[in-house]
Amino acid sequence: MREIRFHGRGGQGAVVASELLAQAAFLDGKEPQSFPFFGVERRGAPVTAYARIDDRPIGLRTSIVAPDVVVVLDPGLLGTTPVTDGLRPGGLLLVNSARPPERLAVPPGVYRATVDATAIAVEHGLGSRTMPIVNTTVLGALARASGVVSLEALQRAIDRYVPSRPRENRAAAADGFASVRLLDAVVPPERLAVPVAPGASPTIPEGPVATVPSRSIRTAAWRTLTPEIELARCTRCNFCWKYCPDDAIELDAQGFPRIVLDSCKGCGICAAVCPPRTIAMVGLEEAA
């Protein structure tokens, strides 16, 4: 049995990707299973989906904690989500990224692969640069890098189950298959990345009463674009502050705005309402 875990953001198609993988594996004559993690699913928020593929009927109905393959649909998740948790030695981490796979930090004994799925998807007209629909491209890359499914079955599954633009999605899957970069070597132990520790479990009060302000929660991982303010042209009208739905803009003593980057979800409202247009929304890799 092969266990695959998908990490993406709400709206990006991680759940659809895992379902499509299951459909394709079925067309390959396998016994697949696919399910989402039902949590807070918000556009931009990190989401998880799972798939299992075997030759025999699958006798498990539990989350996947020790996957053979981890697929990351959005490179922005790498810094904030512990995507490699439980990834087995000999397993594979596949990330949608323009960067070479050598740049990925993974546990020892793990193979690495990247595919620039965003560029491929946009090229085929699938989504926009800020919200690319990368799932079919990434599945093409997965077919090549992991062998859990054949490209031919994947393309038949796309024809059957992808309602919009099946032709473009098929081509994107083929491009993902052709262009994935896979490192043959596994990571030696000394380059072990430090995994993100899960938060301590709170003490349970007698009644379900929540008292900890949410300010401690970082929602930066939701962001694909970051606002940058050109303060020299700022008129201190405070429109950006006034209209921010995330309370992610603070005004300093002089009335100049400052973006609270831990909290900003990158919606772009501040840039849209700024009368002198001093705020630009910048892509993550450009901003970094």
Q: What is the 3-state secondary structure (H, E, C) of 39-105?
A: CCCCECCEEEEEEEEECCCCCCCCCCCCCCEEEECCHHHCCCCCCCCCCCCCCEEEEECCCCHHHCC
- Minimum Å gap between C-beta 66 and other proteins is 18
- Minimum Å gap between C-beta 3 and other proteins is 20
Cα distance between residue 92 and residue 154, in whole Å = 19
Cα distance between residue 270 and residue 242, in whole Å = 9
Residue 119 burial (CB count, 10 A):
17
Quick one: which of 255, 276, 277, 285 contacts other proteins (CB under 8 A)?
255
- Residue placing its CB nearer to other proteins in the complex, 190 or 206: 206
- Residue placing its CB nearer to other proteins in the complex, 155 or 219: 219
Helices 135-146 and 151-161: angle between axes, nearest 10 degrees = 160
Quick one: which of 215, 230, 231, 276 contacts other proteins (CB under 8 A)?
215
**120 to 159: interface string for other proteins, x by CB under 8 A:** ----------------------------------------
Cα distance between residue 93 and residue 165, in whole Å = 28
Should residue 280 be labelled a site residue for other proteins when binding is judged by CB under 8 A? no
Cα distance between residue 71 and residue 154, in whole Å = 16
Should residue 276 be labelled a site residue for other proteins when binding is judged by CB under 8 A? no
Should residue 197 be labelled a site residue for other proteins when binding is judged by CB under 8 A? no
**25 to 64: interface string for other proteins, x by CB under 8 A:** --------------xx-xxxx-------------------
Compute CA 288 distance to the chain's CA centroid, rounded to the nearest angstrom. Answer: 17
Should residue 216 be labelled a site residue for other proteins when binding is judged by CB under 8 A? yes
- Residue placing its CB nearer to other proteins in the complex, 42 or 88: 42
3 state SS of 106: coil
Compute CA 258 distance to the chain's CA centroid, rounded to the nearest angstrom. Answer: 27
Should residue 97 be labelled a site residue for other proteins when binding is judged by CB under 8 A? no
Stretch that binds other proteins, among 16-24, 69-77, 86-94, 196-204 (CB under 8 A): 196-204
Q: What is the 3-state secondary structure (H, E, C) of 261-281?
A: CCCCCCCCHHHHHCCCCCEEE
Stretch that binds other proteins, among 26-34, 94-102, 173-181, 264-272 (CB under 8 A): 264-272
Beta bridge partners of residue 5, listed in sequence order: 50, 70
Quick one: which of 222, 229, 259, 278 contacts other proteins (CB under 8 A)?
222
Quick one: which of 214, 232, 275, 286 contacts other proteins (CB under 8 A)?
214
61 Cβ partners below 8 Å, 6+ apart?
none
Chain positions contacting other proteins, by CB under 8 A = 10-11, 39-40, 42-45, 201-202, 204, 206-219, 222-223, 236-238, 242-248, 251, 253-255, 260, 263, 265-269, 271-273, 281
